[in-house]
Amino acid sequence: MPANHRYSAQTALLLLACTVLASCGSLSKVSDSSINPVNWVTPYKVDVIQGNFVSKEQVELLRPGMARDQVKAILGTPLMASLFHGDRWDYVFTLKRQGVEPQSYKYTVFFKGDQLERFEGDAMPSESEFIAKLGNKRKLGEIPVLEATEEQLTKAAAKSRPASETASAPASVPAGSPTASYPPLESPKQ
């Protein structure tokens, strides 16, 4: 087979493969599925967290008649405190993550003078419910146990000692060693 026919056959096969791949993207059934290679690569999108998260436990601590400082100690600094509405604090929290529907929570407290009059807003999740919603899709495997048994501790201590110490009784400080002397941390008062 001559060289020009071989190159034209390779070019024709390459064009055919490109056409097949391009047509796969136009089919609605295939483009929505995970089979389509175009869906395998997605750009990284940063999680956007804005505002103050107010939990159900924090809302339960609010009582009418509380001072502004007490409310601020419980809920934190409000996201929005308007000059035109000095007796109203708005706590807004939004969370936008890739592949998850955006979450938004709003809570408003109203004051009369310096005293909390009333409060209202969305049904707030508890801290544990909110953390459960943040669960990552990735599975990282089993979490190892972070506590050692007494047997494991003694075995590790025996491995770290030299052979001469393991034969005799364990000594915390050798008998003939000099004691360490350190300079004072502060200069003496004059």
pLDDT at 60: 92
Q: Regarding predicted confidence, which is higher, 189 or 177?
A: 189
The mean pLDDT of 46-69, rounded to a whole number, is 88
Chain center to CA of 39 = 26
- The CATH number of 48-133 is 3.30.1450
For 144-170, how does the pLDDT look when each residue is reduced to its tens digit (9 = 90+)? Answer: 777 888 898 898 888 877 655 545 555
E strand or H helix at 118: strand 115-121
Q: Residue 31's Cα: distance from chain center in Å?
A: 32
pLDDT exceeding 90 applies to what percent of the chain?
Answer: 17
Q: What is the pLDDT of residue 30?
A: 47
- What's the confidence (pLDDT) of residue 106? 92
In terms of C-beta density within 10 A (0-12 exposed, 13-18 middle, 19 or more buried), how is residue 184 classed?
Answer: exposed
Burial of 64 per CB tally in 10 Å (0-12, 13-18, 19+)? exposed
Summarize pLDDT for 80-137 with one digit per residue, the tens. Answer: 777 788 889 999 888 888 777 888 999 999 999 889 999 999 888 888 888 877 765 5
d(CA 79, CA 90): 6
Least confident residue range of 2-6, 15-19, 70-74? 2-6
Per the prediction, the chain carries an average pLDDT of: 77
